[in-house]
Amino acid sequence: MGARLAAMAALLADETRAAFCLALLDGRAWTASELARHAGVAASTTSEHLGRLVEGGLLAEERQGRHRYVRLADPEIAHLIEDLAGHAVPAGTGPAEGGPRTLRAASASNALARGRTCYDHLAGRLGISITEAMTERGLLRQDTGFALTDEGLRWFGEQGMALTGQRTRRPLVRGCLDWTERRPHLAGTAGALLCRHAFDAGWCVRIGSGRAVKVTPGGERALAELLGISPETLR
């Protein structure tokens, strides 16, 4: 066990490989060239790093024609990466280590802090606001770990997000440490369903091609009506 843990830690000890894993927290599959541009490294370097991450079980590989796509191996790996990121960012700094150095970087950092996807669930101020509102309304308990109440299960069903009959090894709910807010947001099967519903219902839209999301006017109205979340907290 110690050797396997050390091997996994070694995979993430490289800055380029860590950057790849953080980028893949958007829940989508990326090509090697996309990741190379994102991390600012050569294609040959990217191929070597991706091979090690796939072999180590952190990434899964898919081929479509001539293209090679990679994604995080499963939600548990995504949770591990996000949790480690939460412990890695010093208190008082933004998502970028040491804080943003340019106006563009500051804008991107602020957008991520307001709202983003963490693999397949919502994070940032948006994710925390939803989690806390659900807790205050008695839909979610956090006092003895994350757990939906009976009222919470009914609430999901009323919104068209039936949790019964879900066949998955994932926990129904779990807390995921938010690396900008330093508090847990809702993850697990329920968190993934809620995130998918937010996009399908038009509550949220992605900003560009990254992980940042913003709440639409319709989403502000829905979240205020359903959970009592003030629109000002989401802007």
pLDDT tens, residue by residue, 58-75: 999 988 777 789 999 988
Instruction: Write down the CATH number for the domain with range 2-73.
Output: 1.10.10.10
Integer Cα distance of 116 and 40 in angstroms? 22
Place of tokens 């602020």: 110
Residue-by-residue DSSP string for 75-125: HHHHHHHHHHHHHHSPTT--SSTT---SHHHHHHHHHHHH-EEETTEEEHH
Q: How confident is the model at residue 96 (pLDDT cuts 50, 70, 90)?
A: very low
Domain ranges of the chain: 2-73, 95-234
* CA dihedral (214, 156, 140, 73) positive or negative: negative
How many C-beta atoms lie closer than 10 Å to residue 141's C-beta? 15
What's the predicted TM-score (pTM) here?
Answer: 0.75
